[in-house]
Structure 1
Amino acid sequence: MLVIYSTFVLLTIIALYYMRIISYLYIVLFCLFFIQCTSNDRNYPRRAEVLFLGSADESVESGKYASWLAIELFKSGINLTYTADANDLNKQNLRVYDGLVLFALPESISSEQEGALKSFVGDGKGLIALGAAPANGPAWYSKLVEGATPEGTSDNAGSDAMSRLVKGDGRVFQTASGSEESVWKQLDFLRQVNSGVQWAIGDKVMGLVAQLKIPSVSIYQDTIADFTARHFVPKMQDPLSSEESKKLMQVPIGFELQLFAAEPDIVNPMAMSWDEKGRLWIIEAMDYPNNFVELKGESNDRIKICEDTDGDGVADKFTVFADKLNIATSLTFANGGVIVAMAPDFIFLKDTDGDDVADSRETIMTGWRKNDTHAGPSNLQYGFDNKIWGVTGYAGFDGQIDGKRMAFAQGVYHFKPDGTDFEYLATTSNNTWGLGMTEDNNVFISTANNTHSAFYSMPEQLVQRRLQEDDQKLNINAVQKIDGHYEVHAMQPNLRQVDVVGGFTSAAGHQLYTARDYPQAYWNKVAFVTEPTVRLIHNAVIEPDGAGFKEHDGWNLVASSDEWFGPVHAEVGPDGAVWILDWYNFIIQHNVFVPAQAPSDKVLPFVDQPHGPGNAFESDLRDKKYGRVYRLVYKDAMHKSSYKLSKDDTNGLLKALKSDNKFWRMHAQRLLVERQKDDVVSELIGIASDKKVDKIGLNAPAIHALWTLQGLNVIESNKDVFDAVVKSLSHPSAGVRKAAVQVLSISDQSRDAILESAILADTALNTRLAAFVRLAEYPASAEIANALLEATNDSVNERDRWLSQALFGAIASQEDEFFNVASQANGSFAKRIVESLANEQYVLGRRSRLQFSPDVSNKEIHIQTEVSRRENQPYNGLIVGQGDKSEGYALYMKSNRVFFEVYQHGQTATVSSRGSVPSTFTVDARMSADATVELSINGTSQGKAKAMHLFAAPLKFNLRSGEDFDDEHAFTEYGESSRFTGNVNNITVRFSKKDHAGHDQGAVSDAGSTAPSERIEIKAVKDIMQYDKKSFTVQAGRRITLVFENPDGMQHNMLIIQPGTLEIVGKAADDMLRSSEAFDKQYIPSIPEVLHHTPLVNPGESFTLEFTAPAEPGDYPYVCTFPGHWRGMNGIMHVVK
C-alpha cells in the first residue's frame, strides 16, 4: 500500500508540472476517486463488523437479543450494528460489513434485496441465519443457499441443528434456534453463535482482528449469559492507555476516533466548550464529588485551554486560564470572558491583559445549592434568544437574583449574560444534566434517571393551568418525556448501575448533530446522550410528532467494554466532528448503595462507603490521574476551514453566520450582538431574506440573522428590519417562520403582523406551536382573543397534545377578552376551553409549591382540605398560602387554632377558629366577591371578616403548602418552624371570576360532608430507594387515606398488591418497560394483582390515595414500580380483623 501511494503522489507531481494546461479539476477528481478506492481497502488490523437485521415488529424484541449477542461478540473483537429496516439490505450498505445476521428469516424480500444478499455471499462474506429451518425455510433463502456444501454440524443447548454451509467464497451459518428468550440466556448457545459468526466471516477477517491485539481486561469469568441480572464484581480492572482503550470501543463504520488530549496534560475533564477562535476549554473537576472548600479550605478545580498549534489534530499547548475553583460544573462564553457554574455561585472570569489567564472574577449570582454535587447546575450555553441557558438537578436554587427571591429544584432556566433577567422556565422530573438545541431552536433535555430524552415545548406557566382532557395521554408537561425505549445497549456483561438497571441512570447530555460533516441522517436529528455508568454514548434519533417530537432508538455512537471509559460530554466542535470528554474512571457511581436494591458487591469490589459532604460515597479509589478528549471524525467528510472570530472583523462574523456549523453561527451571532452596532443591519436583512433551503428544509443562517437583529434591538426602531422580519413569517423554511414570530417585539404592529399572516394555521405544526406560545406573552386584546377563538375551530389544534395546551395557555392569558367573545363559541373544543377557564383549581400536597404564582386578580378564592393530627404533636405551621405578608393570603395554624388571613396594603383581615380543634377536621376558607373572608371547620362557620377588596394584581410569591419562607416574606411568626406539623389531605385551591356572565362555576360542595378515614403516612427515604415504613397495619374493610410523600430526587409510585404476588407484579413492571407507553401508564402494570396505586409522584411532591382496605385479612405487599426499584423498595400492609 505504501508503494502504491508513493507512486501515485509522484505521478501527480509529474502531471502538475508537465500538464499545467490541463484543468486542475481533472486531477482533483482523480484524487478523490483514488482516496475513495483506498478507503474501501480494509486490510489492516481492525475489529470485525457484522450487521444484525432484526424484526420490525417491536413485540418480537429482536433488539434485546441483538444487544446480548453484541456483548458476546464484542469480547471476540466483533462489532455488531443493529437495524430493523429491511431497506438496509442493499449492496451499498452491505459492502462495509464482514457478516450479516438475519433474525427469524422474513417470508419474502425484494428482488433487489435478494440480489444484494447473493452478491454479499458471493463476495466471500458471512451470512448468519438465526431461526432458520432449512427444510421449510422461505423460498428466497432456499434459493440463496442452493448448491452450498455442508461443512460440519453441531448441536446447541436445545439440541436444534446448527449447520455450516460453504457456497463459493462465502459461508452460511444457520440454526433453527434463536426465537425464544430462554435460549438467549444459555451460555452454550451464545458461545456457539459466536463461534458460528467467526467461522462465517472467515479466517482472513479474524486474522485482522488478531493483529489488532485487543487487550483482554474482563474482570469476570467467562460464564455470564444472563445480561439482565446483577453479577458479583470480583476486582477492579486496570486502567488502559488511550490507544489500548480505543481498541475496546465501537464507533460507526466509516468513522474514526482520534485522541486530542490525555493525561497527564488533562485530568478529570467534567465539561467543555470552545471559544470564538476554535480553542477547546475544559473544566478539570479535581474536587468532585466531595471536596468542599467550605470544609477543607481547598479549591483544586481548574479551567484549562487546550490548543493544537501545529495542525496535527493533537493538543500541544495547555494553559491554565483559572485555578482555585471548587466544584465547577460548566462554562460558556460571553462578553469577552467565561461564565462558570460553581455552586453556590455563578461567576464571570475574564482575562484583561491578553495572557490567557483570568485576572478578573465577579460573582453574578449566588444561591445554587451544593448539598448534592451531581445534582447541581450544568450545561450552560448561549441560546438563540441571546441568553444563557442551563439546567440543574434537584439540588436546585434558593436565593435572590436582581433583588427577587427565587427557589426551585430541578429544571431549565435562562438569563442575560450579565446575570440579570433570570427566568426559571420549567421543571424536569428528576436529576438533570443534559441540554441541547436544534438548528431551528427546539430545546431538548435529558434527565439522569429513565428520561434520556425530553422536549421543552413551552414555559411551565402555560401548562400549570390545565386544559381538561378526556384522554390523559393528551396531557403534557412543559418538559415532556419523549424517549421511545428503556434499554441501553452496553458492551459489558455486568451493568454496574445503582438503579434503572439496564436503562439510563446517568444520562448526562443531549447535544444534537448541528453541522454537515456527518452523513445526512445525523443532521439536526440525532442527539448524543452520554451514559458513563454503562460506558457509552447513545444515538437518540429525534423525529417530529405533531407539533412536538418523539425519540427512537438509534443504538450507540460510541460504546466500550473498558470499565474505565466514562463519557460525560459529547458535542459538535468547530471542525464538525463530535468531541467527547472521557472522565476515565472505574468509579462513576455517586450515591451510597442500597443492599436490597443495589448490593455494593455487585456494583463495586468493596463494601465500605462512607457518606461524603457532596452526598456521594467517599473512596480513595475515585481516580484523580486520568482523562481524555476524543474527536469522532467521519472519514469521508469534506472538512471545512475554521475561523478565528473577532468583534473587530465584521466581514468574518458575517461569513461565519453563514457557516454550515451551528457552532460558528452561534459565536458569530453572539459577537455581533455584543458589539451592539447597527452597521451590519443591511447585511443581516440580506441573510434573513435569502429564500433558499438546504436538503432538510432549513435555512439556518437566516434564523441566526433574525435573532441577531433581535439582539441588536432594531426590529421596532428600523422599518426596513421590521418589514424584513414580517416577510420572514412566510419564508419557505418553517424554522425561519418560527424565528420570525419569536423575535417580533411585543407591540401592536407586531400583533397585527402575526394575526394577518398565516402562521396561526401554519402547516408546520412546530411553527404553529411557537406562534401560540408567543401570543401568550402579548397584552390582552380583542384582536388576539378573536384569532384564538378562530383557532379553536381547527381540529388539528384540538387533537395535537402540544397545540391544544399551548392554545389554552394563550387563551388563558387573554381570559377576560376571550370571555367577551366566548358567546360566539360553537365548537366543542371552544366550549371545553371555556369550562376549563371557569374551573381554575390547583391541588397541592402536604408540602408543595407551584413554581409560578396563579393570577388572583379580581378572583374569588376558595380553599378546602382535611387536617389530622400527627403523632400527637400540637398543630403549628403553614397549611397553604400565596404572596407574602404585604400582599397575599394564608391558611395556617398556631397553638392548635386555625387562622385564615388576607393581607392588603398593610392591612390584615383575620378570622380564626373558636378555641382548639379536634384531632381530625375539615377546613373551608374563602374570600368572596364582596371581599368577605370566611372560615369554616367541619361545616360550621367560625366567623367572618372584611378585606379591602379582591386582589387587583397578581401576587409576587408562589402558591405554597406545608412550609413558608424563613425570611421577611413569611406570613407570620410560627415559632421554631413554619413546617406544618399535622397531616393534610390534598389541598384544593379554586379561583373564580363572578363577572364572567354565564360561566359561573357554581357552588362548591362542602368539604365537611366526607367523614374522616384512617390515615397512613409513608415517605420515600431520600437517596436510598426505600419506604420509611417496612410495614403498617389496617383494619379489614376500613376506609383508608394513605398520604405518600416523596422527598427523594427521583420519581416514585406506590402499588398495593395481592398477597404473595411481588414477583409477579415486579416481572410485569419489568416487561412493560419495552413499551413506549410505560411512562404514560406510570409504570403500573394492568394486571388483577394490582389493587390500588398512586401515580408517579415527582420529587418534593405528595399524593393522597383513598381506598377501602381488603375484606380478607392477610399480608398485602406495597411496592414502587419505577424502573429498577421493585426489588428493594417494598413493604407489607398487614390487614387484620
Structure 2
Amino acid sequence: MSASRRLAVVALTVLAGGVATQAQIPTRDEPNRGGSLDLASQDPAVALERLRVAPGYEVALFASEIEFPDLAKPLAMTFDTRGRLWVLTSPTYPHVRPDEKPNDKLIVLEDTNGDGRADRSSVFADRLYIPTGFELGDGGVYIAQQPNLMFMKDTDGDGKADERRLLLHGFGTEDSHHSIHAWQWGPDGALYFQEGTFLHSQVETPYGPRRLANAGVWRYEPRTEKLDVFVSYAFANPWGHVIDRWGQNFISDASNGYNYWGTAFSGHVDYPRKQRPMQEWTLTRVRPTSGSEFVSSRHFPDSAQGNFLYNNVIGFQGIKQYRTVEDGSGFVGIEIEPLLQSSDPNFRPVGMQFGPDGALYVIDWFNPLIGHMQYSLRDPRRDTSRGRVWRITAKGRPLLARPVIAGAPIAAQLELLKAYEDRTRYQARLALRDRPTTEVLSAVENWVAGLSPTDPGYEHHLLEALWVHEHHDRVNQPLLERLLAAREFRARAAAVRVLQHWFDRVDGAMRLLAPLVKDPEPRVRLEAVRALSFVPTAAAASAALEVLTLPMDYYLTYVLDSTMTTLEPAWKPVLSTGGRFAEGNAAGLSFVLDRLEPGELAKVARSTPVYHALLSRAGVPAAVRREALEALASQNGTTLLREILAAVDRMDGRPGSSVPSADLMQLLGTMSAADLAPERSAVERLGRDGRNDGVREGALAALIQIDGTATGAWQLTEAAPRLRVDLLRGATRLPPGPALDSLRTLLMPVLTAATTRTATTGTAPGQIPGQSSAPVAGRYVRLVRPGRAQVLSVTEVQVFSHGDNVARAGTATQSSTLAGGATGGHAPRAIDGGLDMAATAGTDPLNGTHAFTSAEQDPWWEVDLGAERPLDRVTLWPAAPDTRNGLHLSVLDANRRVVFVRDMARVGAPSEEVALAGDMSAAIHDAGIALLPRLPGHEADAVTTLAAFMRQPAHRQAAMAAIRRLPPSAWPQAEIAPLADTVLAHVRAIPSADRTGSAFLDAVGFGHELAARLPDGERQRLTSALDALAVRIIRIEAVSAQMKFDLSRIAVTAGEELVIELVNKDEMPHNFVVTKEGALETVSLAAEAMMSSPDAFGKSFIPTTPEVLFSIRLLNPGETLQVRFTAPTQPGAYPFVCTFPGHWRTMNGVIDVARAAVRESAQ
C-alpha cells in the first residue's frame, strides 16, 4: 500500500468514527498498578451487568462455573460437527503445586433445547497439565501437552478419551503460556499452531528434526506426519490466528497487540533465521490480545460482514472491531466501534468463535490477576475455579438454522462447502476429512461437474473442492491448473499456495508458477514470489525478480526481499561466475546487485549493470572503480572523464550517493588541466548545479585546475555564497602551485576583514556584505536512510519558514510503520511537537512521540507542507544517536523536483540543524580557516590569522583544528602564551556536562600541545589547570550472550562528577539503573511488574520510585550512550542493575562510593 493511500485510509478511519470513537468505558488499574480487587462479579449476573455491546447487539451468559464447575479457567474453544462447544480448561495454571496432581480438562458443553444456554456438560479428557491448545479432527482430538503433541480418541463411544497417543515430542516449555497454542485447521488440511518467545523447540519427525527458537508458527500435516515452520518471526507470544474465506492468514501477537497479515512473512527461511520486522495491517492497537475471528455470519448485520475481531484482556477488556480493506497486495484494518467491552476488571476474554447458530461465543478466563510475570506464581489472589462463556447475538435478526454435518451423506456435506459462513465450511471440510478418501474424491468429481459456471460463487466452490483434495493429500493437477487461471484473483492466489504445497508432485510446476509472478493482480504476484522461496534454485530467484517489472508495494517488496535472502545460496554463485541470471531484467539485476557487499560486488562477472553498480556503491576499491570507468569508456567509445561525469550525473542527489560521487570527483584531481579542459562546460555545470556537496566541491576544484587560476571559479560563486563555501572546501584537494596561490590572494582579504567592523557598510564583525543565501522554495521535506534492511527513526522534524515551524501543520507519511517498539512508529509522531519519547508515555494512545519504519530497503519519511513556501532551515531530532548510517535529507518543490539535498554522515543527539538560507559568512570563514594550513609557504602568517579567529567563539573550534594541522615548529613563539590563555579560558567556560565531548577533548589536547612549548613554570601551571577540568568516563558493557555487565564493581568518589558510558554489545535491550543501598530487588521487581503496563517500553522498564538514583534508558543492540552522573554524596555500596524483565538477577553490580582520600589511596 502506498504511504499516501495508507494516509487516506487513516483519514477515512477518523471520518468514519473509527479511532475517534474510542471514548469507551474507563479502564481500571490492575492490582499490581495500584488497583484494588473487585470480586462482586464472581456472581455472573454482576459480570453481565458490566458488559456493554455495540448498538444493535446483545450479550447473554451461555455457561458458567456455577452450573458447570468443570468450566474452570477456560483458555481455548472450538465447535464440533454436532454443534457442541468444546472448551479446554486449566485451573493448574501457572504451575502445579508440589502437593497436587494436575487435573486440567477438555470439556464438552451442549445446548440441547436451543435456548441459548448450555444445559449439559461432559468431560472428554482429564488429568491434563496446562494444555494450551487443541483442535478436533480425524475422529479425535489433537492437543498440546507440553512438550508433546498428543492425539486423544474415544474408541468405545462413552464420550471419554481412552486412547492417548504421542505424535510429536520436543516443543519448547521454557514458559508455560508461550507453549504451542492458537490452534487452527487451515483449509489446506494442515494444523497451524504457534509458540512464543523464550522457547526453543527441536522436534523429531520422519523427515528429520524441525527446529524453532524464540517464537513462530508451526504447520503440521497429520496425514503425512510432516511438520514445518510456517512463520519464523520474533513474536512476543502470538495467541491469535484466523484464516479468511480465501485462505489468507492473519496472526495476532498477544503481548504487544500487533496484528500481522501472516501470508507476507510465511515464506521459507532456514533455521535459525527470522523474518525481518514487518508492519501491522491494523492501523491502531491495544494489548495484550488473545484470539481473533472474522465476522462471517448472516445472523450479524450486513455492515459487519468481513470485520476483523480480536480480544483484549488488560486495560481495554473486550472485543475490538476493525473494518477490513483490501489494498494492493495486502490489507488494512480500520478501527470502528468495539463490539464488546466490560467495566469488570476480572473479565478476561481469551478466545472466540462463531457458532453454528450464527452467534459469537466468547470464553472468559475470569481472573483478578492475569499473567505470571506481572504477579508471583504463588499469589493467593489468583482465581482457579471460575470461567464463563458469553454469547453475542444481533437484535432483531433470526439465528441461523444449525447445519446438519455429522452423519450427513457425503453429497450433503459437499453442498455445505457452498455455505456463506466460514465456520460451516470449516466443519464440513473436517467432516469430509473423516470419510474414506476414495468415496470423497469420487463424490467431489461429481459435485464439481454439477456446479454452474454462472453461479457467482463458482470459483470459490472449485477452490473448496481443491482444498478437499489437500485434506486427503491427493493431487488434482487439472483442477489446480483450472484455478490458477481463474477469473477471480483471490482464487488464483489461493491456488498458488496449493501449488507450493504440491510443488514436487505437479508436472511442470515451475512452468505453472513462474508466469504468475507477472499476474495482473498484486496478491497473486505476492503468493507466487512467496512460493518461489521454497524452490532453492537460481532459476526460481530469477523468476521472482520478474515481479519488479510491474508496480510494487510494501508487502510485495517485503516478500521479494525475504525470498531473495532465502535463495542467496542459489543465485549468488551464478552471479559471481557469469552465469545466465535475470536476463533482460534490468530492475531485477539492479535489485540483486544492491544486495551485495562491495567485496562481493567486485567479484561479480562484469557487465554494464555491474560496472554502473561498482561506480555507484560506497566502499568499492579505487582500482576496481577505475577498472569500471575504463571498461565503460572502451565500450562506449568515450573518455574516462566523460564516464566519470556521466556516472556522477546518474547518481547525483540520490540517497546514499554522496560518498561514491565524491570519490569519483576525487579522480578529477588526478587528471591534468589538458585532460579536463574539453569538458570545462560540464564541469562548470556540476560546480554550479550539482546536488551533492561533494560533487560541487570537486567540480569547482577541477575548474580552478582547468583555468590555472581561481579567478573564474571565484567570480562564479560571487553571488552564490553557498557555492563560495563549496569552492573553499573543494580547494583543499588541490596541489600546491600557482592556482592555489591565486586563491590565497583572493581569500586573505576576506579573512583579514573578518574581525573588524567595516565603517562603510556598518556590518557586524565577521559578516560579509551580500553573503546571505536565499530561502529554498519547497513543499516536501523528505528523509531517507539509504541501504538494505534499514530502520528510519526520528523523534521530531521541524521545518522553518520565516522563523515559524510549519511542519506541525503538515501531513506526514512514511514508507512503512514498524510493528514493535514503544510508540507504534506512526509518521505524524515526528511532527507532533514531542521531543522526548517518554514525555507522553502513558497518556498518548501510541505511548510515545517518535516515528519509525520497519526494516526495509531505503526507508523514507516525508512531510507535505501543503503548498510551496520559502524554507529557512530544517531541524532533526533523532530518536537516538546514530553513527552507523547517515540520513539523506531532500527538499522538493510543488512539482516534486529536488531543490536541496544533504547527506548527513551523522545525526547526533539532541538535534541536528540544516540551514537552507541565511547569512553564510560564518560558513565561508570556517571553510577559509580550514584551507589556510594547506597553503604552503605562509605558515607563520596563517597562525597569526588563526590566532585572531581563536578569540571569536563562533570560529574558535575551526581555528584550533587548523592550527593543529600546522607543524608546531611553524607556530610563532609570540603567539604561544596568548593562545594558551585563550584555550584555558575556553575550556573553563565549557559546562561540566559537556566535558566528555570531542570539542572539550580537542581543546584540552591543544592546550597540552601549547604547554609543551612554554617555559617549565608556565607549562606546569597550564597542564595542572587543564587536568583539573577533566571528567572521568566509566565505560560499562553489556556482554554479548552472557546476560551480564563486564564490570561488577565501580569505585567512585562521593559527589564526583563523571560520565557513565553504556555500551550494548548483546542481542537484547538493556538499561542501567543505580539504586539506593539495599534496593536492588525492590526496584527490579517493580520493573518486572511494569510488564502489564502499555508504557513499559516508553519508560524503559525503569520504575518511578525514589529508590532509583540514576538511570540510562533501554539501549537497543549495538547502541552506545553517555550520560552524566553525579555520585552519591554519602559513602556506601550502591547497586547498579539492568531492570529489563528477567535480567536483574545476573546483570548487576556495585558502585563503591568512598571519600576522596580513600579512593585515591586505593587507586
- Normalised by the length of structure 1, the TM-score is 0.51
Counterparts of 2:320 and 2:192 in 1: how far apart (Å)? 23
Counterparts of 2:35 and 2:108 in 1: how far apart (Å)? 38
Match of 1:735 among 475, 490, 507: 490
Counterparts of 1:316 and 1:740 in 2: how far apart (Å)? 43
- 1:306: Cα distance to partner? 0.7
Instruction: Please say if 1:373 is aligned against 2:179.
Output: no
- 1:302: Cα distance to partner? 1.1
CA contact (8 A) 2:484 2:491 kept: yes
- 1:325: Cα distance to partner? 1.2
Amino acid at match of 1:1043: N
Q: Relative to structure 1, is the Cα distance of residues 624 and 324 closer, same or farther in structure 2, using a 3 angstrom cutoff?
A: same
Instruction: Please say if 1:485 is aligned against 2:280.
Output: no
Structure 1 range deviating more: 331-340 or 475-484:
475-484
In the TM superposition, 1:1005-1020 aligns within 5 A as 1016-1018=1036-1038
Tell me what 1:189 maps to.
none
Match of 1:710 among 455, 470, 481: 470
Q: Relative to structure 1, is the Cα distance of residues 823 and 259 closer, same or farther in structure 2, using a 3 angstrom cutoff?
A: closer
CA contact (8 A) 2:241 2:291 kept: yes
Match of 2:557 among 782, 797, 801: 801
Q: Relative to structure 1, is the Cα distance of residues 1029 and 373 closer, same or farther in structure 2, using a 3 angstrom cutoff?
A: farther
SS of alignment partner, residue 723 of structure 1: helix
Match of 2:308 among 526, 540, 552: 526
Amino acid at match of 2:84: R
Tell me what 2:84 maps to.
279
Tell me what 1:1043 maps to.
1064
* Cα root mean square deviation, aligned: 5.3
Instruction: Please say if 1:1104 is aligned against 2:1124.
Output: no
- 1:682: Cα distance to partner? 5.7
Match of 2:517 among 740, 743, 760: 760
Amino acid at match of 1:250: R
- 1:405: Cα distance to partner? 6.2
In the TM superposition, 1:629-648 aligns within 5 A as 629-646=389-406
CA contact (8 A) 2:411 2:443 kept: no
SS of alignment partner, residue 526 of structure 2: helix
- Structure with higher Rg: it is 2
Q: Relative to structure 1, is the Cα distance of residues 356 and 644 closer, same or farther in structure 2, using a 3 angstrom cutoff?
A: farther
Counterparts of 1:1031 and 1:418 in 2: how far apart (Å)? 61
Tell me what 1:440 maps to.
246
CA contact (8 A) 2:432 2:468 kept: yes
Q: Relative to structure 1, is the Cα distance of residues 277 and 817 closer, same or farther in structure 2, using a 3 angstrom cutoff?
A: farther
Instruction: Please say if 1:71 is aligned against 2:25.
Output: yes
Instruction: Please say if 1:769 is aligned against 2:526.
Output: yes
Tell me what 2:166 maps to.
363
- 1:692: Cα distance to partner? 6.9
SS of alignment partner, residue 71 of structure 1: coil
CA contact (8 A) 2:1064 2:1070 kept: no
CA contact (8 A) 1:531 1:567 kept: yes
In the TM superposition, 1:76-475 aligns within 5 A as 232-264=34-66, 265=68, 266-291=71-96, 295-402=98-205, 404=209, 406-417=211-222, 420-425=225-230, 426-458=232-264, 462=268
Structure 1 range deviating more: 754-763 or 363-372:
754-763
Tell me what 1:43 maps to.
none
Tell me what 1:550 maps to.
332
Amino acid at match of 1:238: A
* CA deviations over 1:478-505 (Å, ceiling 9, x no partner): 765444224xxxxxxxxxxxxxxxx41x
CA contact (8 A) 1:455 1:479 kept: no
- 1:395: Cα distance to partner? 4.7
Higher fraction of helix: 2
* CA deviations over 1:17-52 (Å, ceiling 9, x no partner): xxxxxxxxxxxxxxxxxxxxxxxxxxxxxxxxxxxx
CA contact (8 A) 2:433 2:471 kept: yes
- 1:352: Cα distance to partner? 0.3
Match of 1:620 among 366, 380, 400: 380
- 1:678: Cα distance to partner? 3.3
Counterparts of 1:428 and 1:237 in 2: how far apart (Å)? 37
Q: Relative to structure 1, is the Cα distance of residues 658 and 638 closer, same or farther in structure 2, using a 3 angstrom cutoff?
A: farther
In the TM superposition, 1:1046-1065 aligns within 5 A as 1052=1069
Q: Relative to structure 1, is the Cα distance of residues 1032 and 515 closer, same or farther in structure 2, using a 3 angstrom cutoff?
A: farther
- 1:307: Cα distance to partner? 0.9
Q: Relative to structure 1, is the Cα distance of residues 1046 and 702 closer, same or farther in structure 2, using a 3 angstrom cutoff?
A: same
Amino acid at match of 1:384: P
Q: Relative to structure 1, is the Cα distance of residues 460 and 705 closer, same or farther in structure 2, using a 3 angstrom cutoff?
A: closer
CA contact (8 A) 1:780 1:817 kept: no
CA contact (8 A) 2:329 2:553 kept: no
CA contact (8 A) 1:540 1:554 kept: yes
Counterparts of 1:584 and 1:229 in 2: how far apart (Å)? 14
Q: Relative to structure 1, is the Cα distance of residues 548 and 64 closer, same or farther in structure 2, using a 3 angstrom cutoff?
A: closer
* CA deviations over 1:419-466 (Å, ceiling 9, x no partner): 932212312331232222112222222222223312223566646799
Counterparts of 1:694 and 1:273 in 2: how far apart (Å)? 31
- 1:1055: Cα distance to partner? 10
Identity of aligned residues (%): 24
Amino acid at match of 1:484: L
Tell me what 1:677 maps to.
437
Q: Relative to structure 1, is the Cα distance of residues 337 and 229 closer, same or farther in structure 2, using a 3 angstrom cutoff?
A: closer
Higher fraction of strand: 1
CA contact (8 A) 1:1020 1:1027 kept: no
SS of alignment partner, residue 562 of structure 1: coil
Amino acid at match of 1:249: L
Tell me what 1:821 maps to.
580
CA contact (8 A) 1:785 1:817 kept: no
CA contact (8 A) 2:249 2:263 kept: yes
Counterparts of 2:178 and 2:1051 in 1: how far apart (Å)? 33
Counterparts of 2:507 and 2:425 in 1: how far apart (Å)? 26
Counterparts of 1:1046 and 1:838 in 2: how far apart (Å)? 23
SS of alignment partner, residue 427 of structure 2: helix
Q: Relative to structure 1, is the Cα distance of residues 821 and 1036 closer, same or farther in structure 2, using a 3 angstrom cutoff?
A: farther
SS of alignment partner, residue 432 of structure 1: coil
SS of alignment partner, residue 832 of structure 1: helix
Tell me what 1:846 maps to.
none
- 1:743: Cα distance to partner? 1.6
CA contact (8 A) 1:1018 1:1043 kept: yes
Instruction: Please say if 1:511 is aligned against 2:531.
Output: no
Counterparts of 2:346 and 2:114 in 1: how far apart (Å)? 29
In the TM superposition, 1:905-916 aligns within 5 A as none
- 1:540: Cα distance to partner? 3.9
Match of 1:660 among 403, 410, 420: 420
Counterparts of 2:284 and 2:390 in 1: how far apart (Å)? 28
Q: Relative to structure 1, is the Cα distance of residues 765 and 693 closer, same or farther in structure 2, using a 3 angstrom cutoff?
A: farther
Q: Which runs of 5+ in 1 are unaligned?
A: 1-53, 75-219, 221-226, 468-474, 487-502, 594-610, 612-616, 716-720, 842-987, 989-1012, 1058-1069, 1085-1091, 1098-1102
Counterparts of 2:41 and 2:1099 in 1: how far apart (Å)? 43
Counterparts of 2:72 and 2:19 in 1: how far apart (Å)? 36
Q: Relative to structure 1, is the Cα distance of residues 713 and 466 closer, same or farther in structure 2, using a 3 angstrom cutoff?
A: closer
Q: Relative to structure 1, is the Cα distance of residues 57 and 580 closer, same or farther in structure 2, using a 3 angstrom cutoff?
A: closer
* CA deviations over 1:365-388 (Å, ceiling 9, x no partner): 233344432222211121122111
Amino acid at match of 1:711: H
